[in-house]
A and B are shown apart, each in its own frame.
Chain A
């Protein structure tokens, strides 16, 4: 993977994390019903974690000579969310982030630091995904 490819992938991951952060915030404030009590803190915690990941990815980008850029196309409806939908959506975009880090890891061959970074993030995202999947079980 060339440095340019790595920067492009990192920029994509940066967008994944920032967008996930916005989605978590939106779900946290729009969640309705009794689920609000349990899931709102969970979603806000996830929001903070994704923001933190976005910052780490941005730092990595800068370290590799790039500059983080964003082109988000996101529309969030003005509707309340059910707990189940919030968790289902979380599974989908956690999957997206995991896929992006996996791609980075697979293509980072030869760049030990980048590979290690990607590997650590894959482990973290896998944990998130497993956690949300567990919440969907009856």
Chain B
């Protein structure tokens, strides 16, 4: 899928992004997702998960079959995919370029992944590609940045 299509989605709130990504991850890992799985993964009660998932069903983002197994609609799936792509990029950027610890990067990414514009995500991806290119310029950039960061403490 083209970069543009992956990154673009309607703005969603943090909880909505969290639920969609959780359903997507569960489907990927186990092949199914139930209310109880979502609740356990997020760390809330089934009652709370059930109420939020009901509103996501009404918004056409989540689906549920007769046996109460959850799925993502086309729009829901696109949003989850976009948020996950931004998460990967920002986490990579924080850890590999900025030198932030994995744990901190995970926390920070969770806070911003759903708010990030496609423009910023694309530029961040470009920067990562540049760093990964191992060209003379990218190696120099990394070396200079590390040296500068060290000096500043």
Residues of A within 8 A of B (CB): 12, 15-16, 19-20, 23, 71-74, 88-89, 92-93, 95-97, 99-100, 103
Contact = CB atoms under 8 A, between A and B. Distances in A.
Interface of B: 35-36, 39-40, 43-51, 54
Contact of B35 (A19, A73, A89, A99): A99
A59 B35 CA distance: 26
Nearest to A100: B46
Contacts of B43: 71, 73
Given A88-B54, A99-B35, A103-B36, A16 B47 contact: yes
A92 B45 contact: no
A93 B50 contact: yes
A39 B93 CA distance: 54
B46 A96 contact: yes
A93 B24 CA distance: 23
Contacts, number: 49
A89 B45 contact: no
A88 B50 CA distance: 11
A89 B51 contact: yes
A89 B51 CA distance: 6
B47 A96 contact: yes
B49 A96 contact: yes
Contact of A99 (B36, B44, B51): B36
Nearest to A103: B36
Contacts of A96: 35, 39, 45-50
Given A88-B54, A96-B35, A73 B46 contact: no
Contacts of B44: 73
Contacts of A72: 45
B16 to A, nearest CB: 14
Contacts of B50: 92-93, 95-96
